């Protein structure tokens, strides 16, 4: 790493799913840092040296990836200045449409009840809470309960990002866009069953599902279009946040 790069702020962006990673790479104009599988994409945005990592879905994978990142950062003498988490989330209320970017005031860990105040760079107004769960929530009663508690959306990673970053004294921010809503009925256990832990699709399982239930193809197509749009808008919001770090 050259002297110029070493003087830049180090910003790490986490992408749970492949299409979220693709959106981040496009929005930030990043390039592969190496040929090895799992290598990050890197680039520069304003005064930040940016690197994006595909980490997989859920709080456990998020904690593991971030903890490893901080251990490696300490060993290399290259501290991380800011961690961003960008991607899709599930909407809880009808007032926020698919494609709406959220900027929560608090991030809540459903498993522990821990609450983390969200203080992203820039002056975009914050509102509501983002609930992080261990798995995708399809329970209508639980979704209504989250909404009644002031939550506007759910995801599976943000509280884990806050937990690990705050334990290491590192600033963090989240950029989420609604890709689906529980009451729209696009997600069900059959759809979730064809998603791998890293967020990629199980193509064999998909082919079997479509062969058995061809009518589901329209739902899957709409879900794909909506989540790609949401991933792009979340990544674009993260880039704006990254530029805001320059003050």
**20 Cβ contact partners less than 8 Å away, ≥ 6 residues apart:** 86, 87, 88, 199, 231, 234, 235
d(CA 171, CA 2): 24
Residue 199 pLDDT grade (very low, low, confident, very high; cuts 50, 70, 90): confident
Q: What is the pLDDT of residues 126-175, one digit of tens each?
A: 999 999 999 888 889 999 999 999 999 999 999 999 999 999 999 999 99
Q: What percent of the chain has pLDDT over 90?
A: 77
Question: Could you tell me the pTM of the whole model?
Answer: 0.91
Per the structure, how many domains does the chain have?
1
d(CA 116, CA 83): 15
Find the CATH number of the domain harbouring 89: 3.40.50.1580
pLDDT at 110: 96
CB distance 92 to 100 below 8 Å: no
pLDDT at 5: 56
Mean pLDDT estimate for the chain: 92
Range of the domain at 60: 3-244
Residue 3 predicted with pLDDT over 50? no
Residue 247 pLDDT grade (very low, low, confident, very high; cuts 50, 70, 90): confident
């Amino acid at each position: 790493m050259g002297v110029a790069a070493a003087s830049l702020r180090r910003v790490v962006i986490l992408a749970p799913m492949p299409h979220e990673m693709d959106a981040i790479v496009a929005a930030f104009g990043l390039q592969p840092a190496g040929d090895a599988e799992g290598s990050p994409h890197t680039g520069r945005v304003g005064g930040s040296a940016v690197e994006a990592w595909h980490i997989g879905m859920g709080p456990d994978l998020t904690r593991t990836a971030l903890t490893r990142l901080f251990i490696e950062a300490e060993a290399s003498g290259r501290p991380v200045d800011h961690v961003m988490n960008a991607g899709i989330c599930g909407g809880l209320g009808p007032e926020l449409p698919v494609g709406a970017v959220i900027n929560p005031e608090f991030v809540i860990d459903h498993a522990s009840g821990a609450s983390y105040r969200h203080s992203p760079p820039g002056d975009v107004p914050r509102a509501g809470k983002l609930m992080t769960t261990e798995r995708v929530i399809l329970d209508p009663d639980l979704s209504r309960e989250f909404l009644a508690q002031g939550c506007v959306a759910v995801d599976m990673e943000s509280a884990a990002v806050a937990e690990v970053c705050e334990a290491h004294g590192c600033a963090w921010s989240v950029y989420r866009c609604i890709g689906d809503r529980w009451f729209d009925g696009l997600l069900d256990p059959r759809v979730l069953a064809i998603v791998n832990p890293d967020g990629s699709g199980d193509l064999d399982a998909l082919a079997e599902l479509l062969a058995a239930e061809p009518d589901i193809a329209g739902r899957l197509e709409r879900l794909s279009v909506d989540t790609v749009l949401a991933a792009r808008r979340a990544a674009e919001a993260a880039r704006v946040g990254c530029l805001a770090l320059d003050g």
